[in-house]
Chain A
Amino acid sequence: DQQVKQNSPSLSVQEGRISILNCDYTNSMFDYFLWYKKYPAEGPTFLISISSIKDKNEDGRFTVFLNKSAKHLSLHIVPSQPGDSAVYFCAASAPNRDDKIIFGKGTRLHILP
């Protein structure tokens, strides 16, 4: 039973346009959400996070939106750059989050020249 779902295995976006990566979750106890980015042969690197008390968090070109009623979050990257080509993992944790992070399966983003 997957608690964090990324239904798009891959996504292709033209350089300079907006990339939108989507994520759904099933566990209503989750209160903290994260996005990680992963290049081949490297470990995931933290990108941006959002607490459930917020509905938006922005950091430069990256914005995460949270819709708690729909149990849905999305990562927007604008403008998309070639270096953004990577696998993006959506992840979540519950209160007392000094514990495991639950990851989705990831979405491979290709930025086209």
Chain B
Amino acid sequence: GAGVSQTPSNKVTEKGKYVELRCDPISGHTALYWYRQSLGQGPEFLIYFQGTGAADDSGLPNDRFFAVRPEGSVSTLKIQRTERGDSAVYLCASSIGGTDTQYFGPGTRLTVL
């Protein structure tokens, strides 16, 4: 079956612009996670959704970052007033339930010039 998909695969933007990154989880997976991977680092947790609600958003670095999952399936990570330090690969993962194995998408590489 289809895995987790993320669009776009690459996004180049200018400092100060707004970006949206999309994640399409595996069908039937109720849990969805966003991570950020900077160069030379492992993935760092940003936010976790169980269904439509954000169960844990403690990893969001500041209020420029926001994520939604209005129908409990597709999720969008939104970054306002992008900064060069936001450049990273943004990974999305989903699992059947919160305690099950997380399956990752290929990521979106964001470059802020």
Q: Could you list which residues of chain A lie within 8 angstroms of chain B, going by C-beta atoms?
A: 4, 6, 36, 41-46, 49, 89, 91, 97-106
Contacts and interface: CB of A to CB of B under 8 A. Distances in A.
A43 to B, nearest CB: 3
What 5 A-B pairs come out closest when comparing CB atoms? A98-B98, A43-B104, A103-B42, A100-B45, A44-B104
Interface in B73-113: 91, 93, 97-99, 101-107
24 contacts: A36-B104, A41-B106, A43-B4, A43-B105, A44-B43, A44-B91, A45-B103, A46-B101, A46-B102, A46-B103, A89-B43, A91-B42, A97-B98, A97-B99, A98-B50, A99-B56, A99-B98, A100-B48, A100-B56, A101-B43, A101-B45, A104-B42, A105-B40, A105-B42
A105 B104 contact: no
B31 interface: yes
A41 B6 CA distance: 12
Interface in B10-59: 31, 33, 35, 40-45, 48, 50, 55-56, 58-59
Contact of B102 (A4, A101, A104, A105): A101
Main secondary structure of the interface of A (DSSP, over half): loop
Contacts of A43: 4, 91, 93, 104-107
A36 B105 CA distance: 13
Nearest to A9: B40
Nearest to B41: A105
Given A44-B91, A46-B101, A99-B56, 14 more contacts: A43-B4, A43-B105, A44-B43, A44-B104, A46-B103, A49-B101, A91-B42, A98-B48, A98-B50, A98-B99, A99-B55, A100-B48, A100-B58, A101-B45
Contacts of B55: 98-99
Contacts of A45: 103-104
